[in-house]
Amino acid sequence: MAPAKKGILERLDAGEVVIGDGGFVFALEKRGYVKAGPWTPEAAAEHPEAVRQLHREFLRAGANVMQTFTFYASDDKLENRGNKLTFTGAQINEAACDLAREVANEGDALVAGGVCQTPSYLSCKSETDVKSILKKQLDVFIKKDVDFLIAEYFEHVEEAVWAVEVLKATGKPVAASMCIGPEGDMHGVSPGDCAVRLVKAGAQIVGVNCHFDPMTCVKAVKMMKEGVEKAGLKAHYMVQPLAYHTPDCSCQGFIDLPEFPFGLEPRILSRWDMHQYAREAYKAGIFFIGGCCGFEPYHIRAVAEELAPERGFLPAASEKHGNWGAGLEMHTKPWVRARARRDYWENLKPASGRPLCPSMSAPDGWGVTKGHTDLMQQKEATSEDQLKELFDRSKTH
């Protein structure tokens, strides 16, 4: 019988680096298994082979957390704005748990069951209603005995606290990750205050994910850490940012960028950028380091390679990747062989090949958040009249 794996808190308490996986929603949308717009995870039940393969690639790249592909798998989101249900929320969540566990058992990985913000909260439903929605997912996670729980992608700390309170009742370790930057949540609550509220609610791991680039997210988590320590509390810290450069983002993050979601490729971080991100996160005292939208397995491999000295090993995927481009020593062309060195890639300023494109964009600043009419939940598809009003309004912003 195989020895029991160390749990998430046992690993972090020992000072180990824990590497998360990447952005399943964006990665599977590009592969043709997720629809942009609803961003819901039916693929766990519809195309399990695609989800399993992506888990396996992240595991091979060095991730030792397999997060269930349950982003936006709450019943209210699955039925929002004309999205047609082919599977129930319970079926999707169960399939996602089984896939994550299957691949986690192929290595020294843990399974994290994830919940995220709900349309019900944005529609001003009650605390009881929102917690009821989250608990439906949680019941599956308990049935499937995930190793720990993550409340991720919350724009409002109030809802994140509600989620933590629901997850904490299980007795399993709880991580809470907000999609905020240094400006704080959508009501202006600072990262430090957000973290304090989450820790007091019962989260043992706090941090940020999505919406902003790695260095911005690391800065936000540093602010969280400062707030928690100032309050005399203790926590572990996590960061799972975008794989896109977002220096021009406002409080809402990359969703406000005009390139979202189909024109973001010129902003993608290189594998060498990921080395810098991993090192900065580790230096900041963040030991749960992963990725969100835009992160592909090669990005996670770069994180694992940068932190190999601390972890004591390289990921399996490094068998096919020379350290800092060393594999280029075998290239046919001499000028490419000359690039087989760290200083070349660390100092490269990559061109986009788009001479008429700007380096930054002007974000859409509509100022729409919880309670606004446009965010109210509806099961019916968005009507032509609703779309026309939005198209007309977009011309004035």
For 310-334, write each residue's pLDDT tens digit. Answer: 999 999 999 999 999 999 999 999 9
**Beta partners for residue 174, in sequence order:** 149
Q: What's the whole-number average pLDDT of the chain?
A: 93
The whole-angstrom distance between residue 233's C-alpha and the CA centroid of its chain comes to 25
**Residue of 346, 252, 239, 253 lying closest to 295 (CA atoms):** 239
Q: What is the pLDDT of residue 288?
A: 98
Tokens 């009501």, residue? 187
For residue 385, is pLDDT > 90?
A: no
pTM score, two decimals?
0.93
Q: Would you say residue 68 has pLDDT above 90?
A: yes
3-state DSSP assignment of residue 208: strand
Distance CA 194, CA 224 (A): 7
Percent of the chain with pLDDT over 70: 94
SS3 343: helix
- Read off the pLDDT band of 52 (50, 70, 90): very high
Q: Distance between CA atoms of 346 and 349, rounded to whole angstroms?
A: 9
Residue 2 predicted with pLDDT over 80: no
Reported as a single tens digit per residue, the pLDDT across 188-216 is 999 999 999 999 999 999 999 999 999 99
Q: In the numeric block, which tokens belong to residue 357?
A: 């494109």
The CA distance from 102 to 99, in Å, is 5
Which pair of tokens denotes residue 115? 């919940």
| Tokens encoding 167 | 């997850």
